[in-house]
């Protein structure tokens, strides 16, 4: 995976003025577009699309400052059909338009050429198992919320708090398959997973495909497949979020698996009364790499 990501950034550099056919690139690298985008955004801290935009504007800025070509020619060279579109993208990165930068020599905000490296640090081994599950359903109460990478998501908190106590007990009684217990489900996450993008959050349980879904509950159909299950315990939600990050930085680069499209599921196995600590399982849909 590390090698594939480095080849990807090299291709971005070689084709800054072109639209990458990422599906073909991923196939040539022996992976999928979905996994490539998810791993890039997890490790780089930004979506691939944002990295490409920043690199284009970094290199284009050098040409703007040199003043050898007109702005339309530079815009076209970097994939923009007009100076207006180029100017908007340029200002979004540098905080000033190309005309201002050509006149004043700045300000400029540089995006370095990324390189990915796998660092072995002797960290605590991850408690992981691979589960092969038949098709099942996730049922419960769903809401659209923005993605927040670190800390408690207040939108999810508000959604759960709005449910009466009886709703939680009812869900517990409906659950009849793994993952067991009340579940925190995220679905519909963009492959690049930028901060603030919308996703579907479902507070619910897993049921077999034969279990009828009550009319007042939302449902997500989950096809048969394999899951990587990561168990972790400690301060909540910090330990869970650290585990999630470590799947990208440590586990996937070191194991012959890749993410496949599907929901991510968290189940709480044990917790303190005030939820300050918890033992959790993170379920991620995977396929052989």
Residues near 229 by beta carbon (within 8 Å), at least 6 away in sequence: 128, 129, 130, 131, 281, 282, 283, 284
CA 193 to each of CA 44, 153, 197: distance values in angstroms, whole numbers, following the listed order: 11, 15, 7
pLDDT(121) > 70? no
Average pLDDT over residues 19-45: 91
- Residue pair 203/153 in contact (Cβ under 8 Å)? The answer is no
For 61-90, write each residue's pLDDT tens digit: 888 988 888 899 999 988 888 999 999 999
> Which pLDDT band holds residue 125 (cuts at 50, 70, 90)?
low
Average pLDDT, the chain: 89
Q: What is the pLDDT of residue 216?
A: 95
Q: Report H helices in the chain.
A: 2-14, 22-28, 33-44, 48-66, 71-77, 83-94, 98-104, 154-161, 165-174, 238-246, 252-254
**What percent of the chain is predicted at pLDDT more than 70?**
96
Cis peptide before 192, with omega less than 30 degrees from 0? Answer: no
Q: What is the pLDDT of residue 250?
A: 83
Q: Which of these ranges, 192-196, 208-212, 251-255, has the smallest mean pLDDT?
A: 192-196
**Of residues 81, 42, 73, 74, the one with CA closest to residue 58:** 74
pLDDT(124) > 60? no
> Which pLDDT band holds residue 120 (cuts at 50, 70, 90)?
low
Q: Which of these ranges, 108-122, 159-173, 265-279, has the smallest mean pLDDT?
A: 108-122
Angle between helices 48-66 and 83-94 (to 10 degrees): 100
For 242-287, write each residue's pLDDT tens digit: 888 888 888 888 788 999 999 999 999 999 988 889 999 999 999 9
Rounded CA-CA distance 204/78 in Å is: 47
**Structure-model confidence comparison of residues 196 and 276, the more confident one:** 276
Q: What is the pLDDT of residue 230?
A: 95
Residues near 120 by beta carbon (within 8 Å), at least 6 away in sequence: none
Give Cα 182 distance to the centre of its chain: 23
Rounded CA-CA distance 68/142 in Å is: 55
Q: What is the pLDDT of residue 67?
A: 84
Rounded CA-CA distance 222/216 in Å is: 19
- Residue pair 147/195 in contact (Cβ under 8 Å)? The answer is yes
Catalogue the long-range contacts made by 16-20 (C-beta closer than 8 Å, 24 or more residues apart). Answer: 16/52, 16/55, 16/56, 16/59, 16/78, 16/79, 17/56, 17/77, 17/78, 17/79, 18/79, 19/79, 20/52
Average pLDDT over residues 119-129: 67
Average pLDDT over residues 148-167: 87
């Amino acid at each position: 995976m590390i090698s594939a990501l480095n080849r990807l950034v090299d291709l971005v550099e070689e084709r800054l003025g072109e639209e990458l056919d990422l599906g073909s690139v991923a196939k040539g690298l022996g992976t999928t577009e979905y996994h490539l985008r998810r791993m890039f955004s997890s490790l780089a801290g930004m979506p691939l699309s944002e990295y490409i935009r920043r690199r284009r504007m970094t290199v284009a800025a050098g040409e703007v400052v040199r003043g050898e070509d007109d702005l339309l020619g530079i815009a076209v060279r970097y994939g923009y059909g007009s100076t207006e579109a180029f100017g908007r993208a340029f200002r979004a990165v540098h905080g000033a338009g190309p005309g201002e930068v050509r006149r004043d020599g700045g300000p400029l905000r540089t995006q370095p050429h990324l390189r990915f490296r796998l660092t072995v640090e002797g960290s605590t081994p991850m408690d992981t198992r691979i589960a092969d599950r038949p098709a099942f359903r996730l049922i419960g109460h769903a809401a659209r919320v923005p993605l927040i990478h670190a800390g408690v998501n207040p939108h999810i908190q508000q959604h759960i708090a709005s449910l009466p106590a009886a709703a939680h007990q009812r869900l517990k009684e409906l659950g009849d398959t793994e993952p067991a217990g009340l579940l925190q489900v995220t679905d519909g996450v963009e492959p690049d997973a930028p901060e603030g993008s919308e996703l579907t959050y479902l507070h619910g349980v897993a049921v077999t495909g034969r279990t009828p879904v009550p009319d007042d509950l939302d449902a997500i159909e989950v096809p048969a497949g394999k899951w990587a299950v990561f168990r972790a315990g400690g301060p909540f939600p910090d330990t869970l979020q650290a585990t999630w990050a470590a799947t990208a930085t440590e586990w996937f680069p070191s194991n012959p698996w890749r993410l496949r499209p599907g929901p991510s599921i968290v189940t709480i196995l044990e917790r303190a009364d005030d939820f300050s600590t918890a033992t959790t399982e993170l379920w991620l849909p995977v396929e052989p790499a």
